[in-house]
A and B are shown apart, each in its own frame.
Chain A
Amino acid sequence: MLEFNNVSKTFAGPAGEVRAIRDLTLSVPAGQFVAVQGPSGSGKTTLLLMAGALLQPTAGEVLIDGQDPYRLGPDRRSLFRAEHIGFVFQQFHLVPYLNVLENVLAPSVARPLPDAHERARELIQRFNLNHRISHVPAELSTGERQRVALARALLNRPKLLLADEPTGNLDDENARVVLDAMRDFSRDGGAVLLVTHDAQAAGYAQRIVRLSDGMAVGETA
């Protein structure tokens, strides 16, 4: 589902070039839950953004469902993201002025689905947010916010779920709900790439890839 073939990413910094990812080759097949671990500055977030068709690699090839999204124009790449990828972030990134239902429905503005409302309500039900459906994010607990973000990520039935420290702000109970949902997603045939420091979260993954200085330095099955 997700393939990195000899991917490198270099940024221009004040003290010269910074090589965030170096010649990385990685594959996350459909139905697999992969965690990426590494110290701060090891290139985890850069890897995630490139996997999300948001950051073009300097060299190498990123394939999602067999397609290189960076060969597409900006509008087609946006639609590609809406169709194939779901995102979950540590900071949730909910739209503050929309209620729970509208936040979950947000991806349908990019890619309208005929059953978007039914799907949104189903996800809201699944993540036990029914009683909060009309609430805005400021009125939700952190766990509820992350569950809304997860429901939003799953609305368009993506094939790839990208998560950046999704449990970083959650208590154990809420972290478990989120990780369970991600594991269920992979069991249903989706590919999950989880970037985390948290060993408990990484424990949900079938494979753990260790990053250091932009390179894969080890892998645990």
Chain B
Amino acid sequence: MTDQLAQPPRRRGRPSPWGQLLRWALREMLHRKGNLASALLAVIVAVGSVVGAWTLLKVHDARTRQVLAAKRAQLQKTLAAMKDNMRKSTLKLSFNLVILPKGQNLRDWHTKDYADTYMPEEYASRLANSRIITVRHLLPVLQQKIKWPEMKRTIILVGTRGEIPKLHKPARKPLVQPVPPGTMVLGYELHRTLNLKVGDKVRLMGREFTIHKCYRQRGSKDDITVWIPLHEAQELLNKKGLINGILALECLCFGTGPDLLGRVRADVAKILPDTQVLELASKALARAEARLAVRREARAALQRERRSRARLRAARERFAGILIPLVLAGCAVWIAFSGFSNVRERRAEIGILRALGLRSSQIMVLFLSKSALVGLLGGVLGFLVGVAAGGRLGAALEGRVDIGSPGELFDPVLLLLALAVATPLTVVAGWVPAALAARQDPAEVLGRE
């Protein structure tokens, strides 16, 4: 019997039985166009929905890149404009200077934050009475870190007499108010921990003071500072007629140029040759801070946009994640029904083919070849429809999107993926009808006929 199943040699150029079955499947597809159209439509819908969703996300990503690039460019432009405005506006920004005795070691000054060398208090008046126009609001100070013996606290004692009026200029509103004689002003940490309030009387180095003012928290050394009138500080610190710094606030720099501070220094040196001038804070710092703030805001705005686009993408992914399996399942059922209908229509044909000796496996191949061909053809068409529909829908949802080259959307990998999904889908969906066809009893069909 084994000999009976042995296949005789085949002539060259003639299709093998399997090749003939494939050709038959192709012929049958073209013969029953309604059935083909129904099955193809199901595959096109299935593949089209997957590819369409994919394409939609691609369009979304392209649009996101476009939106973020535009936003970035816009922010760069705003930043550049802001920088320019900042440069212009800070041209007239004032300096805060400190004038120290010439012999003061700057390392020590930076370490202690006050000078340990002294200069005559009269320097402040000399500067105020000069015709210098770059220096404004002069405050002579005598400050020193001391132990407050009565309170057992380390404090910074600042003797101040308020601003020195400029005689050659009309009176200005002073920036800093002087401390009235016999009073003191307390930093936050001191009045809070010592439980002192305005009007209380306290003793400092044996002298009685009334608390004139209590400052709010500043987060600096001011919180442990006690301000008293300059002359009283000079008496207490035994530095009569001496100061260790002149604060020059809101000094103006006119014109433009690289060394505005140098000009102020030269002006002061002409009047007070025994001093040195330091800048307390620079406009460069102010610019940098402003720039940083703008950049931070720009980054935050970009981040907000990116997050908003990501949220939108995630929402679309979720929607596709729910819709696509439903569509695929629906299409699989549709393809299966189409297959059942095809089998019912071909009962007589299956019967005679079985009577002619075709094995059940060959009947399976005949039906599954058709399923695979429908899958391949539907996969290609579904891919094209999906790309077109996804692109259109994307354009409708996102507005005009610059995708770049058309090849961006026509991704060959996606096409292969579409075929890799569509062909097994149709073969699996067509399996049960094919098995049913293969199991059909030819005697029953031919007997009935």
A: which residues have CB within 8 A of B? 45-46, 49, 52, 54-55, 72, 74-76, 78-83, 87, 89, 91, 93, 95-98, 102, 105-117, 136, 152, 156
Residues on the A chain within 8 Å of B355, using CB = 52, 54, 81, 87, 93
> Is the CB–CB distance between B360 and A81 below 8 Å?
no
Interface residue from B8, B10, B360 paired with A75 (Cβ < 8 Å): B360
Query: Which residues from chain A contact B443 at a C-beta distance below 8 Å?
Result: 49, 54-55
Contacts of B318 in A (CB 8 A): none
Assess whether B4 is in contact with A78, with CB atoms less than 8 Å apart. Answer: no
Contact A112 B446 (CB under 8 A): no
What count of chain B residues pass the 8 Å CB interface test?
38
Of the stretches B23-31, B114-122, B161-169, the one at the interface is B23-31
Contact of A152 among B1, B351, B356 (CB under 8 A): B356
* Nearest Cβ on chain B to A211's Cβ, whole angstroms: 15
The answer to whether A97 touches B10, judged by C-beta atoms less than 8 angstroms apart, is no
- Point out residues on B near A: beta carbons under 8 Å: 1, 4-5, 7-11, 14, 16-17, 20-21, 24, 27-28, 30-32, 348-349, 351-362, 442-443, 446-447, 449
Among A78, A93, A116, contact of B348 (Cβ-Cβ < 8 Å)? A93
Q: Which residues of A contact B358 (CB under 8 A)?
A: 78, 109-110
Contact of A95 among B11, B353, B442 (CB under 8 A): B353
| Cβ-defined partner of A117 (8 Å) among B9, B14, B348 | B14
Q: Which residue of B lies closest to A94 (CB)?
A: B352
Which of B20, B31, B357 lies in contact with A97, CB distance below 8 A?
A: B31
**Known contacts A74-B360, A109-B358, A110-B362, then 15 further A-B pairs from the complex at CB < 8 Å, ordered by chain A residue:** A81-B357, A83-B357, A87-B356, A91-B348, A93-B348, A96-B31, A97-B28, A98-B24, A102-B24, A106-B356, A109-B17, A111-B357, A112-B8, A112-B17, A114-B9
Chain B residues with Cβ below 8 Å from A112 are 7-8, 10, 16-17
B4 touches A97 (CB 8 A): no
**Nearest chain B CB to A85 CB, angstrom units:** 8
Measured CA separation A78–B352 after assembly (Å): 12
> Which residue of chain A lies nearest to B30 when distances are taken between CB atoms in the complex?
A97
CA of A156 to CA of B355, assembled, Å: 13
B447 touches which one: A45, A82, A102, A117 (CB < 8 A)? A45
Q: Which residues of B contact A80 (CB under 8 A)?
A: 4, 357
B-side contacts of A156, CB under 8 Å: 357
Chain A's nearest CB lies how many Å from the CB of B341? 16
